[in-house]
Every structure is written in C-alpha cells, then in structure tokens.
Chains A and B, each alone.
Chain A
Amino acid sequence: MKRRVLKGVLVALALWPAAQFALTQAWAVNPWKLFGFAMYSVPGPRVELELIGVLPDGRGMRIDRRAYSPREHRLASRFLSYRSELGFLARGDELADGVLALRPEFESVVVHTRRYWIDPETALVTSRDEHIRHGRDGRRTPFEPPDG
C-alpha cells in the first residue's frame, strides 16, 4: 500500500512541472513559483499597475498612486503581488471593490496591468497588457483604452 502511495506521489511530482509550465505560458504565472522547479529559468516577474476611475459621463481619470489611501495601498500591493505570482489568474475584484467603496464619484474602475518579460525569440523586453473594467454591480468587462 505504502509503495503504491509513494509511486503515486512521485508520478505526480514528475508530471506537475509540465502543468506548471503550461500555466506560465497561458496565464503568465511566475515560473519561479508553484512547485515547477523553474527557478532561474527567466528573470523574476515585473508587473505594473494603473487604476483608472470612470466617471458617469464615461470620462476616465487616472488615479495617481501618490493619492492612494492606506487601504488602497494595501489592496494594490496585495493585488500586484498576486498578479506577479499567479499572472492573469489573479483577479482584481477586491482591489476594484475597495477603490469604488472609497471613491463614490466613479461609476466603475479600470484595473490596468502590464506584465514584462524577455521574448526568447528576439531577446527583447516585451509585455502583455490587461484592462478590466469593474462595475459597481460586480460585472467585469474587458476595456479598450481610447488610444488602443
């Protein structure tokens, strides 16, 4: 029985890094994490965050990081950390809800993240952006920035 358990554990250990690699490719999960043994395979993740409040007339206002409240700072730091490790699997709902709760002037908030990495083909720095608009009703919709 214990022999079977051991074999099962070893097979899982041997197969999991392949699944972890798939997660890194599909959702930009940090290769260094999640037990895939890909430490030092790529530079550590670099992620930038931008919050844009959307007024009732549709105009967007970038929320200056220096103007974040302590709670917004905590939520943003938590989200950035999760986004760095879990890539696009990490959702910004908690951050968006916190911002909307503190800023009644906005009808929704756009969470914009940019994840950088080195492209193995060109060896140039490249990035992937995500803009998600979070409404007060909890709906999440992709947001197309005006300048494309």
Chain B
Amino acid sequence: MFRSLQWRLQGWYALILLVVVTSFGAVFFTAARKARFDEIDAELLSAARVLEGVLRTVPQQRRLLPPGPPPDDRPPGEASPPPFARPNEFEPRNAQPPGGPDGPPPRRLPPRPNDPPGRRPLLDRQTRILAPDIFSLPNSFRDRYQEDGDEPYFVVRTSAGELIRANPRDAATSVPIDHTVGRWYESHSRNRGDLREVSLLGPSDTNILVGRSIRHELDGLHRLAWQLALTGLGVFSAGLLGGWWLSSRAVRPVVVMSQTISEINASNLSRRLNLAGVDTELSQLGLLVNQMLDRLENSFDQQARFTADASHELRTPLAIILSQVELALARTREPQAYRDALEACGRAAGRMKSLVENLLTLARADSDKLELRKDPVDLAKIASENILMLEPLAKERDVNVRIDAGPARVVGDAGRLSQVIMNLLSNAIQYNKPGGQVLITTATDQDQAILTVSDTGAGIPEADLPRLFSRFHRVDSARSRTTGGSGLGLAICRSIVEGHGGTISVTSSLDQGTEFVVRLPMVASV
C-alpha cells in the first residue's frame, strides 16, 4: 500500500511541507530574536557609551580642574549626560547610532584624545580617586530594568583585567571579561545564561561591560517559539490533509481506470474506460487504452470467427467419419459395405487434411513464416502445367481453357505460385457454366509480371467482392460442398501473392464472368 502512487505523492508532499514550514518558522524566530537582541544591545550600548563618556572626561577634568571651575555647574554625581559636551570639540567616532527612545539622550562622543606621545593617563588610579559617584548607569536605564531584583550591572576594567569600577560590586568577580572586545571589535555583545552583556572598548584600553537580565525577553522568545511550533504543526497537519485530498482527487481516476482495466478480460473485451470527467493527461491515456482495446477486440473477434469457421469446416468431415464408422460397426456387414464406409472415411479425412494444410499455410503467412524460395520462375510455364493438370476437371465440366502466354518471369517460389494459379484456375473451371471459357494470360508491364485468369461463369455479386479474399468467405455458403472448397483458397492466394510483394485483384460482372489479376514484381521485393 505504501508503495502506491498516492502514498509516495503524500510522502514527498509531507517532506517538502515540513521543510517549508520548519524553515519559515526558523527564519521567523531567528529574525524576531535578532530584532529583540538588537534592541537590547542598543540600550546596553548606549548605557556603556555613557560610562565611556564619563571615563573620557576623567583625565580632561583632571587637567582642567585645577586652573578653573568645572564648565558645568551640575554636581558631579549626576553624570548624565556628561557635562563637557561641546559641539565644536566633537566629531562622530562611531557610525552606530545610539540606542532606542528609552536609552540615554543622543549625544556626540568626544573626539578620541590624541594623547601626547609618552603620556598615558593612569585611568585606574584617577578614576578611583576622582568622584566615584559619576560612575553610574543612566537613571532612566536603571529604573526600567530594576524590577524583580534584576539590577542592571556594569564592570569597567583595564584591558589587562584590572578592575576600575563595578556596580554592584560582586559583578566584578562574577562577570568574566569579554576579551573579544579590543582585539577584533570596538564593541561586542554576548549571552551569559539569561544575562545579556555588551562590552565596549573604552578610552585608554579600558573595557566597559554593561549587562542586564533578559529573562523576560527570553521568556517572550520562548513563548514565540512555542507559538510558532504549534502554528507550524497546525499548518503542517492542514497541509497534509489537503495534500491527501488533492492527491486522492488526482489519483482517483487512475484507481477507477485500473479497476476497470483489471476487470477486462477476453470474455468482456467490449468494456471500455469511462472517460467522462477525467483530466486531460489521463483521458489521453484512457483514450489510448480504449483504442488498444478496440484493436484487441477486433483481432479477438477475427480470431474467434476464424476458429469457429475452422472448427465448423472440420466438423462436417468428422461427422462423416464418425457416422460411417458407427454405422459400419453396428452389425456384421458384407465386405463391400465396409469398403464403402472406409472410402467415405478416406474422402472425409482427405478434406480434413487439405483444410489443415490450408490453415497451416495461412498461419505461417500470418507469422511471416511462409519461407518462400527465391528462384527464377516462368509464370507462363507454370500456368501451362496447371492447365494440363486440370484438364480432366475441365473436360468433366465441359469448360474450354485457353492460354495466351507472354513472357512473365519473376523471382519467387515456384510451388507456391503454382498453388495460386491452380486455385484461380480450378475456381474458374468449377464455377463456370457448361460450355464456358477460361482464359489465362501472362504478360510483362514495365517492372511487373501480370497474370490474369478470366472465366465466363455466373460472376460474383458486387456485395461479395470486398470480402472475397477473406478467410472462409464463400459467395454461396453451400456451393463449395459439391466442389470441395473450404473457403480458404483465395485467402491463401492473397497471402502468397502478398508474400511475393505483389497484389491480387478481382473484377466481376454478374452473368458475364470474373477476372482475377495477379501482379508480381519482376524482382522479388523481399
């Protein structure tokens, strides 16, 4: 069952559907996840940028502080936004725009300080010394994610891993440094459990890491994943059902057709496929099957008719033999009675023999196994011989046979061609009227040898002419009994002539006579 077309179709369909649904779900989920993480990263990054800004101000403040008051009146604890932003001193350092609407306000980054050679600010010391409170995340950021005790945290280290500042303090020990930053990227984000962390390369080789819990987001993504899986499962199942419906719809005509075909055998060859409402390709196939059945039925009918005719022809001589034997054996008889019975049996057996031979000839002709010889044959000579052989019959019927022998040489089987002429000639004599004429002519026309046999008999009704060369066809179904024919003679003639690549034709008019014309190629075409 699972090897059936429908199951295979269904299998392939399910596979493709599964791939499509799964990849759609995967792409969708990945995109959603990325969008969410990008959002988170942007926030974290902008928070980190704030810390970076603070770091950057430290050495400047230190340099600037002693000579004059700080440029901003704001207390140093409120370090957001950095107090030192002066537009003319800034240039865009990073193409990446700052975070979303909830992040810190957009701002320009200070130019990368082109530190004088040999002077590296000692950030760690300075930051430790200077205004510890300015190191804090923007309040808006902190407020948003402070629920559930999951406080956003940050760690600032030197690239060597030395802690500069961390909030809360235990973050310094629990959060490992992200070494990717500084080596390949200016900033980098990573997941650590249900924590999301963004590391940023700060001024003077510092590593600023800002992180927060993304439990809610992960939960949301989890739910999304489940929703996608369930939806995908639903779509997949609906698709399978629909696919099954479609494929059974597509396969049903095939099933119906094959059922019908399997029910057709020799005894009900007249059944045909019902092609109403069948799709085009299948109806084409069905049409071909029906045409094939037509041909089969036709040849079966022909075969059946042939067999029936043959058995019919065999039945009569068989009946003679059986009844003669039964009669002879019924009681003790005179020797002459046995002799008569045996003679009758002999005649009947002779008829059966010639019938069987004729049937065999036709069977061979049908399967192209006539095995015709290819000798030079003079049709005129054969015709003369046959006239001699049939002279007693002609005398008996009071028929005058004449020959007009022209040159007619062909390449063929002398025995078979003689059989043709014998058949035509004996027909012409037997079906002639007393005192009638039979004329045989042989001649050559271009590359054909032509033999005609014409008689002055009763002629053949026009209705019989088309079937004259058919097997077992007789113009008068009973007339041949007295002349011993079986209705196969002309069929054999045609088979032999066609086996030589020639044609045989007949013209006849009632009460005038009949003429058979045999045309044979001078050089056998076979």
Q: Do A and B come from one complex?
A: no
- B interface, CB within 8 angstroms of A: none
